[in-house]
Amino acid sequence: MSDKVADKVTDKVTTQGAMSTPLGNLWVSASAEGLTEVVFREGRPVGSPSALVSRALNQLAEYFDGERQTFDVPLAAEGTDFQQSVWAALCELPYGVTASYRDIAVRIAKPKAVRAVGAANGRNPLAIIVPCHRVIGADGSLTGYAGGLSRKQWLLQHEGCGTLAAMAQGTLPLA
């Protein structure tokens, strides 16, 4: 096997770990490049987590304990250029602040791509760490979340967004 092929195979090797949260079991997967998935899933992964997965699990535990508001682990989620731009914009949303899909579309300089932003948001494979739960409807309503709306509401309340009316008031102003 050539070095280039071996490098690509090594980059795709995934390690996993899981933790219990107030919202259910949360799995974290990573390649050599960074986190590839953070999802709510039942069961337990086989094998030992890598140092990166362990670090992410520790940071997530701190988040759920109210001791962490940002994450500093490398990310390696696969997605289109558009999805990557949406996910990067989501990472800029501060803890406890919400934004509408339109806010995100404007932030990435695609103001007419509101539905596409919603689709990219829904395909985010890195729950909580890429905070797609902070995106709400323009009227302050809770809208889709892959982990379920009850989890989304819990996460927003955990971050101090509170009621739906308070969530709407916390919407990120346009830059």
- Indicate whether 21 and 46 sit together in one domain: yes
- Indicate whether 123 and 53 sit together in one domain: no
Residue pair 149/155 in contact (Cβ under 8 Å)? The answer is no
User: Total structural domains in the chain?
Assistant: 2
Q: Which domain, by its residues, includes 124?
A: 81-165
- Indicate whether 149 and 87 sit together in one domain: yes
Determine, yes or no, domain membership for 171: no
Q: Which residues are catalytic?
A: 132
CATH of residue 36's domain is: 3.30.160
| CA R_g for the chain | 17
Please state the pTM of the whole predicted model: 0.84
- Indicate whether 99 and 151 sit together in one domain: yes
Determine, yes or no, domain membership for 33: yes
- Indicate whether 160 and 90 sit together in one domain: yes
- Indicate whether 50 and 88 sit together in one domain: no
pLDDT tens string 115-169: 999 999 999 999 999 999 999 988 888 888 888 899 999 999 999 985 444 545 5
Question: In whole angstroms, what is the distance from residue 84 CA to residue 77 CA?
Answer: 8
Name 97's bridge partners. none
- Indicate whether 20 and 86 sit together in one domain: no
**Residues 84, 14, 66, CA angle at the centre, nearest 5°?**
65
pLDDT tens string 61-118: 999 999 999 999 999 999 999 999 999 999 999 999 999 999 999 999 999 999 999 9
